[in-house]
Chains A and B, each alone.
Chain A
Amino acid sequence: MLKLAGQLAAFALFALAVGYFSASPQYNYMAADKALIKMNFSHAGQPTQACRKVTQAELDQLAPNMRKPMDCPRERVALLVEVKINGESKFKRAVPPSGIARDGAATVYEKFELAEGTYAVSVAMRDSRREQGYDYIMQKEVSIEAGQVLVIDFEAETGGFKFL
């Protein structure tokens, strides 16, 4: 009888542990009164150097099947991305292109936790060889409530940055 009680207790304890830890305790990874702005996009910057016309002398030194009139280096510039919230710079980074030859798109993924409220959000990006300024800029006043997710996306074909 005592053995049976022991077995029942052991199985009950096992089931209790399985049942409890399968969904408890709750994990709070962000304050409930906070909202989130996510910025995520992939974009390929311009090549680091402009294409150059190959001279006839250079072409003559190449095998016939390698003779391309233009020499276009594959490497692309890093994107310079800056996010300002209420005029304060929250993110400013040179994002390198992907790939061994550094010729792929650069990917940005960043999250900003904010309290509920209205914010002046400014997003800017330089994807060219220029030394100063930005090629794309978006400035917008947004209102966000607790628990809301606002997404900053980028599509060069549709004019640049946008909120989703």
Chain B
Amino acid sequence: MQAVKRIGRYAFERFESLFDTIFGVQHNPLYHLGALGWFFYWIVAVSGIYLYIFFDTGVHQAYESVEYLTYTQWYAGGIARSLHRYASDALIIVMLLHLLREFMMDRLRGPRWFSWVIGIAILWLVFACGITGYWIVWDKLAQYVAIASSEWLDSLPLFGQSIARNFLHDSTLSGRFFSLMVFIHIAVPLILLFILWVHIQRMTQADVNPPKALALSVFAALLVLSLIYPAESQGPADLSRVTSSVGLDWFYMAVYPLIDLFSGLTVWAMAGLATVLLFILPWIPRKKTSLAVVDLENCNGCSRCALDCPFSAIAMRPRSDGSPFAQEAVVLSSKCVGCGICVGACPTATPFRRHSALIAGIELSDHPVMQLRQQVMQTSEGLTGSTRILIFNCATGPDLGALRDNATAVLTLSCIGQLPPPFLDFIITRGFAEGVLLTGCREGDCHYRLGSRWSKQRIARERDPYLRERVPRERLEIFWAGVDQSSELSSRLRAFRQRLAQLDPVRAKGRPPDPTEAAAENA
């Protein structure tokens, strides 16, 4: 499984690099697949509302009203119909890509199972919306879909009466059935909207709106497609004739040929098995997550951790320990993914502290800041030369083992957002290294959603906790590297070292804490 994910991730990142070049990082559609899905949903919803105004639910009137929209009112109804269809198809594309990408990037484990599992339910609902939509047009394709779908449903031993009987003959077909289908075609998208809302509940600042330029571009593409190649019906349905050949919408109906090849129950079993497999993927194999823990003695209830948590895993509650602060941070363990971004946001996570043990208000249970300080100091001791560089990277980023040498050390964090800005100050002003290079996931695509963004903003003094002004920025380098960008990272490191070599030597301020002292604190 991990090998598949490694290959998949590499493949995705190759495409992402290409798209970064074409679209720029900010507008790369592969970074906004979920948001594009929302955008297509709204196009479908708005165009659907317009179509519904003119749609008639009678057996014969349904087809006629769609024909009226398509041809007589081509300038509005026809375009709306085409946009309705094409945006629905585009929704399937981005939804499946989104699912595949999240799987390959391993973004479904731990508490992220919630969004994944809800997402699988969304798959079924989107397909139900699409199928019922094709059904109510009542053309030849609708006839095929109606008969094939009802035969498939009939294969389940759930219904007393055969549903396929409704489509046996004109005499058995009722206009009321169309009313029912239209009701379903409106009700299911409304349920879908609710489920979509649940899908993003565990995310802070969920990306539900693609960048404006990207949204306008894809809309323009669909509009041009609608004008050049408008969606049309495939001739009126006629139950006395077999529709032996139909133009399937393969985005929604790829499963239908399977129904013709195998028995209905076999296809249900295949669909059920695929769904169950998708449902259990977050737990294969099981992964232990290190949780954030709050130390109330050091928590002043500033709420920065809660604001920075990308997964709404920290709640601010009334103080419970009698201290004079109004609030305290509480980690919701069922939502915590162990990224440590909250630690990076904590103002008490400062390595300069010497008069008391270094314990931050919020810590990662398996990687406390005291241990991180010790790692920095011990690693620095092993470096030689006048251009010593400490690299901080993410556990999910590329493997940087090859970059290690006498003058370069690598410290791996859960997420780059775990690094509190005072550590950069500490390393440079206390002379533990001449330069610090921060790297992590590729630009615009943090594994933990907001880690690299918050890091950049903290260093740029746009987000609290700010990196102090006294830290010389020319001694910091940031390069967000994907797994396919190791050689670019090496080049960047060489250039950074050359730059450092031209700078005046660092004058260490203050007494660097003694590593043995820090070790004693740990003990």
Binary flags per residue of A1-14, CB closer than 8 Å to B gives 1, else 0: 00100110011101
* CB nearest neighbor in B for A14: B221
B22 near A107 (CB under 8 angstroms)?
A: no
| Distance in Å: Cβ of A73 to nearest Cβ of chain B | 20
Chain B residues near A3 (CB-CB < 8 A): 21-24
User: Is A61 an interface position by the 8 A CB rule?
Assistant: no
B241 near A15 (CB under 8 angstroms)?
A: no
- A10, A27, A34: the one contacting B257 at CB < 8 Å is A27
- B171, B231, B242, B251: the one contacting A147 at CB < 8 Å is B242
Give Cα distance in the complex from A107 to B155, angstroms: 11
Chain A residues near B22 (CB-CB < 8 A): 3, 6-7, 10
A164 near B86 (CB under 8 angstroms)?
A: no
Dominant secondary structure of chain B at its interface with chain A: helix
A36 near B242 (CB under 8 angstroms)?
A: yes
B217 near A29 (CB under 8 angstroms)?
A: no
B229 near A27 (CB under 8 angstroms)?
A: no
A149 near B164 (CB under 8 angstroms)?
A: no
Give Cα distance in the complex from A57 to B239, angstroms: 59
Binary flags per residue of B310-329, CB closer than 8 Å to A gives 1, else 0: 00000000000000000000
A149 near B245 (CB under 8 angstroms)?
A: no
- B169, B225, B240, B250: the one contacting A15 at CB < 8 Å is B225
| Distance in Å: Cβ of A17 to nearest Cβ of chain B | 7
Give Cα distance in the complex from A11 to B171, angstroms: 47
A147 near B164 (CB under 8 angstroms)?
A: no
Give Cα distance in the complex from A3 to B144, angstroms: 44
A7 with B257, Cβ < 8 A, contacts A22-B231, A40-B164 known = no
Give Cα distance in the complex from A105 to B89, angstroms: 41
A107 with B161, Cβ < 8 A, contacts A3-B22, A19-B229, A22-B85 known = yes
User: Is B151 an interface position by the 8 A CB rule?
Assistant: yes
B164 near A27 (CB under 8 angstroms)?
A: no
- B169, B234, B245, B249: the one contacting A151 at CB < 8 Å is B169
| Distance in Å: Cβ of B206 to nearest Cβ of chain A | 24
A11 near B217 (CB under 8 angstroms)?
A: yes
* CB nearest neighbor in A for B23: A7
Number of B interface residues in the complex (CB < 8 A): 48
Which residues in window 217-275 of B have CB below 8 A to A?
Answer: 217-218, 220-222, 224-225, 228-229, 231, 234, 239-242, 244-251, 256-257, 260
- A21, A40, A104: the one contacting B162 at CB < 8 Å is A40
A23 near B248 (CB under 8 angstroms)?
A: yes
- B164, B165, B224, B245: the one contacting A32 at CB < 8 Å is B245
Binary flags per residue of B255-297, CB closer than 8 Å to A gives 1, else 0: 0110010000000000000000000000000000000000000
* CB nearest neighbor in A for B254: A21
A18 with B89, Cβ < 8 A, contacts A40-B168, A109-B164 known = yes
User: Is A156 an interface position by the 8 A CB rule?
Assistant: no
A164 with B169, Cβ < 8 A, contacts A7-B217, A107-B161, A148-B241 known = yes
B245 near A26 (CB under 8 angstroms)?
A: yes
Binary flags per residue of A128-157, CB closer than 8 Å to B gives 1, else 0: 000000000000000000011101010000
| Distance in Å: Cβ of A127 to nearest Cβ of chain B | 17
Chain A residues near B385 (CB-CB < 8 A): none
A14 near B218 (CB under 8 angstroms)?
A: yes
| Distance in Å: Cβ of A109 to nearest Cβ of chain B | 6
| Distance in Å: Cβ of B319 to nearest Cβ of chain A | 53
* CB nearest neighbor in A for B157: A98
B256 near A40 (CB under 8 angstroms)?
A: no
Number of A interface residues in the complex (CB < 8 A): 41
Chain B residues near A30 (CB-CB < 8 A): 242, 244
Chain A residues near B248 (CB-CB < 8 A): 23, 26-27
Give Cα distance in the complex from A105 to B168, angstroms: 18
| Distance in Å: Cβ of A134 to nearest Cβ of chain B | 22
- A10, A22, A34, A99: the one contacting B242 at CB < 8 Å is A34
User: Is B510 an interface position by the 8 A CB rule?
Assistant: no
Give Cα distance in the complex from A38 to B19, angstroms: 53
B241 near A22 (CB under 8 angstroms)?
A: no
B241 near A164 (CB under 8 angstroms)?
A: no
User: Is B11 an interface position by the 8 A CB rule?
Assistant: no
Chain A residues near B217 (CB-CB < 8 A): 7, 11
Chain B residues near A77 (CB-CB < 8 A): none
B244 near A15 (CB under 8 angstroms)?
A: no
Give Cα distance in the complex from A31 to B24, angstroms: 50
A28 with B240, Cβ < 8 A, contacts A23-B249, A107-B162 known = no
| Distance in Å: Cβ of A21 to nearest Cβ of chain B | 5
A27 near B245 (CB under 8 angstroms)?
A: yes
Chain A residues near B89 (CB-CB < 8 A): 18, 21-22
A34 with B225, Cβ < 8 A, contacts A3-B21, A7-B22, A98-B160 known = no
A15 near B221 (CB under 8 angstroms)?
A: yes
What 9 A-B pairs are tightest by C-beta distance, nearest first?
Answer: A6-B22, A23-B247, A30-B244, A11-B221, A15-B225, A164-B169, A15-B221, A21-B250, A28-B245
Interface residues in chain B, defined as those with a beta carbon under 8 Å from any beta carbon in chain A: 19, 21-24, 85-86, 89-90, 93, 144, 151, 154, 157, 160-162, 164-165, 168-169, 171, 217-218, 220-222, 224-225, 228-229, 231, 234, 239-242, 244-251, 256-257, 260
7 A-B pairs within 8 Å (CB atoms) are namely: A10-B19, A14-B218, A14-B221, A18-B222, A18-B251, A19-B228, A148-B242
